[in-house]
Structure 1
Amino acid sequence: MQILQDKKIVLGITGGIAAYKTPELVRRLKDHGADIRVVMTEGAKAFITPLTLQAVSGNHVSDSLLDSQAELAMGHIELAKWADLIIIAPATADIIARITAGMANDLLSTLCLATSAPIAIAPAMNQQMWHAKATQVNISTLKQWGFHLWGPGAGEQACGDIGLGRMLDVNELVTLSSDFFVDKYLQDQHWVITAGPTREAIDPVRYISNHSSGKMGYAIAHAALRAGAQVTLISGPVNIPAPAGCELIQVTSAEQMHQQALIYVPQATTFVACAAVADYRVADIADEKIKKDSEHMQISLIKNHDIVADVANLANKPFIVGFAAETQNVEHYARGKLMRKNLDLIAANDVAKAGQGFNSDDNALTLYSAIDKIEIPLANKQIVAKQLVSLINQHYLAKNAKK
């Protein structure tokens, strides 16, 4: 069964240019099984017509608090009780301010006051409006009240500015809607996850790195978020967007990743060291670009801190999951790393095999503990991550049950 099957969602649409995306959003939510009722503000009708949204939703579109026919049945109260989830997309600075102020001067703001259903807001506004102190205070207040913040995204805006303020893409909003109804079995957990490669500078224009794309670590972050965890993602340089809702800490070098891990890990329940961290860094980084003066060049390397080992040596260490990307003798090296670094689990994969590992969309893992071995067969990394997160949690609960 689809996750959104028979879920009742009210979509509130306000007067922003991103309203043009809402017919597609309605259609996609319906494709996933949801029943959609649309509520529009007067401003929204300047960008998209009620008739269009009625056609794609298959339901009457509500656009007035003073609709005599609707109010015969107390329409706003009916909608408030009917909804399993209210999504406001696009959510302009105006509607965010009016909800924060407790105003009820149109159907949508009244609905927000009258409902006990969860409310998610997908901000859409000029980047300067998003960063304005008033908007940030309002957003902070709504989050404290339990509202869910979906976005905003960053990029080029209709006004020509570039920055935060774009409404999330339809696919992202559909994913967040589905994720909202997934079992939140990690509700009280905080996961710190490292992902991607590190870059070790040689000079201002050159560096040593590896082939890690970050896809596996980002998939784990998404799966943990979907299961309800608070997620801090410490990421090396990658070309993929971070999952909406995680705290993203961007780093470049192994030293920076080590520093950030030790800052965030003390508050974590689980640490997943998925990043492909450079074992060595350049001893003396050149201040200027090194010129090609000879046939040979020697670079002296020194060992980087071992992030996962240092975390494992903390007095109040979290549950620790390491990764081992190997090209031969996978189980031997993985079990050796598990015991040597005092880890709870290690996820190993053979990156020499075609179609899995670095830069691939697919992966296969073998999860080792001190006493067992579990195979996760080749599949898309999102599917593998979902299975892995569930297995990590099972081992985490078993370990804590013994305390």
Structure 2
Amino acid sequence: MKTKTETSKKKVLLLITGSIAAVRIPLLVSQLAKENYEIRCVLSKNAEKLIKPLSLSILSRNSCILENDQWSNIQSTPLHIELCNWADILIIAPLTATTLSKWVTGNAEGLIPSILMANIKPIIVAPAMNTQMWLNEAVQKNYEDLQNYENVLSLQPSQGLLACDAIGIGKIPPNDLIQLALEFIISNNQKPYRKDLLNKKILITGGCTSEKIDAARHITNKSSGAMGLLMSQVARFRGAEVKYVHGPLKIDKDLTDGIKRYEIETSVDLINAIKNEISNCDYFFMNAAVSDFKIISNTSGKIPKNKINDYLNKNFELVPDILKTMSESKKNNQVFVGFCAFTGSIKEARIIIKEKIIQKGCDYLFANPIDLEGQGFGFLAQNEGWLFDTKNMEHHIKKTSKIDLANKLITQIISEKK
């Protein structure tokens, strides 16, 4: 992930409450410190029993703040107010059922609840608790109430093995996902965080397809699935209901946490998955890198090398244009967005791109160069691109991180629709 410069260093206030998941937070502090965030940690009384304050102080390069510090006689300003004023962004990880209850009912007893009451900055919420506690009716009601807070970005707890040895929902979201949410908020450039895609359904495809040649060979491409996944997470952070259809991902699977996703292999799998979902979506982003051709024959053996050329010539078939096919049944209230990788200059590619958007029948086409150093495939690559519509709009997004590009691209598209 992109390292912050000293001039753009963001101040993160990390609130840690007394779930056993708190033992994972020192790794998050270390991770954020390496990315050059300035971090201050606040520990609840119960969290102090799980993590050593000294560890957090050393990892964050700042003194760890404890419950007993709230009314210290060395404070010239109430501590909870001073901390809220200091921070650019807050993270509460883990969020326990007790702290959630205090927060939504306006109970400011304790330092962390007082901070939550006073805070108006963006805050990332990462709950963690036993499955039965999480599914308790009162907890679910409190969590639902929290979704109405405009400055709150909630990350649902994960499924998996819990500290009580049960398997279910309740794990704290992965540290990488918490950091991704942090980078998303920063990409808003100090504009207030808003859930501006609430009640919208978005279908996104991404990654490569793979076509079988024989038992030992297949046809595929370099797409990692990173751009489609980051668009999926950005849309989810902004309140949308997202479904992500993708080929094999060449990125950290932790970053898929919280996304409804369906893994496919071939172009036929992709077409079938899109057909099952396309009629229900408001926005469709066709970002998958589909193989241009496939093999008709379905052999169970390996073709000898001296016969492979003849085999390919006899069994070669072009894959249909999926976006063009889907656009034929597009509804008036739907927005379809295509993607086009190109090489060479945008001046040379512009004519082809404008022809493509008409041929494919989509509303927008985003074109990005893949032959420039540091750009193209993979999560860490940066990208730039040009968004075209069917008329004369051409919007350039300068070279930036993929999470920032995904956010800016979605912002541009929904603003155009308005």
Counterpart in the other structure of 1:361: 381
Conservation of the 8 A alpha-carbon contact between 1:23 and 1:53: yes
Conservation of the 8 A alpha-carbon contact between 1:12 and 1:89: yes
Unaligned runs of at least 5 residues, structure 2:
1-6, 148-152
Counterpart in the other structure of 1:190: 201
Conservation of the 8 A alpha-carbon contact between 2:383 and 2:401: yes
Separation in structure 2 between the aligned mates of residue 270 and residue 178 of structure 1, nearest angstrom = 24
- Matched to 1:331, the amino acid is R
Two-structure CA RMSD over aligned residues (Å):
4.9
Unaligned runs of at least 5 residues, structure 1:
398-403
1:376 aligns with 2:397: yes
Counterpart in the other structure of 1:401: none
Separation in structure 1 between the aligned mates of residue 356 and residue 222 of structure 2, nearest angstrom = 21
1:394 aligns with 2:400: no
Separation in structure 1 between the aligned mates of residue 383 and residue 90 of structure 2, nearest angstrom = 36
1:273 aligns with 2:286: yes
Counterpart in the other structure of 1:259: 272
Distance 1:262 1:342, change over 3 A: same
Q: TM-score, normalised by structure 2?
A: 0.68
Where in structure 2 are the equivalents of 1:29-48 lying within 5 Å? 32=37, 38-42=42-46, 44-48=47-51
Separation in structure 2 between the aligned mates of residue 293 and residue 364 of structure 1, nearest angstrom = 41
Conservation of the 8 A alpha-carbon contact between 2:184 and 2:403: no
The number of residues matched between the two structures is 378
Deviations 1:276-304 (A, max 9, x none): 11233332322x23252743341424444
1:334 aligns with 2:353: yes
Conservation of the 8 A alpha-carbon contact between 1:15 and 1:41: no
- Matched to 2:366, the amino acid is A
- Using the TM superposition, give the Cα deviation of residue 336 of structure 1 relative to its aligned residue in structure 2, in angstroms: 1.5
Distance 1:120 1:394, change over 3 A: closer
- Using the TM superposition, give the Cα deviation of residue 209 of structure 1 relative to its aligned residue in structure 2, in angstroms: 1.0
Deviations 1:12-56 (A, max 9, x none): 242344254465489689x6567x5624253x3343234555785
Counterpart in the other structure of 1:347: 366
Separation in structure 1 between the aligned mates of residue 297 and residue 132 of structure 2, nearest angstrom = 44
Distance 1:345 1:68, change over 3 A: closer
More displaced 10-residue stretch of structure 1: 178-187 or 383-392: 178-187
Separation in structure 2 between the aligned mates of residue 199 and residue 263 of structure 1, nearest angstrom = 20
Distance 1:223 1:85, change over 3 A: closer
Where in structure 2 are the equivalents of 1:161-240 lying within 5 Å? 167-170=172-175, 172-177=177-182, 179=184, 182=188, 183-184=193-194, 186-188=196-198, 189-240=200-251
Distance 1:325 1:144, change over 3 A: same
Conservation of the 8 A alpha-carbon contact between 2:229 and 2:256: yes
Q: Secondary structure at the match of 2:66?
A: coil
Counterpart in the other structure of 1:150: 155
Q: Secondary structure at the match of 1:198?
A: coil
Separation in structure 2 between the aligned mates of residue 108 and residue 251 of structure 1, nearest angstrom = 49
Deviations 1:122-177 (A, max 9, x none): 3568xxx6xx6775567866654446653656899999999987644545424424
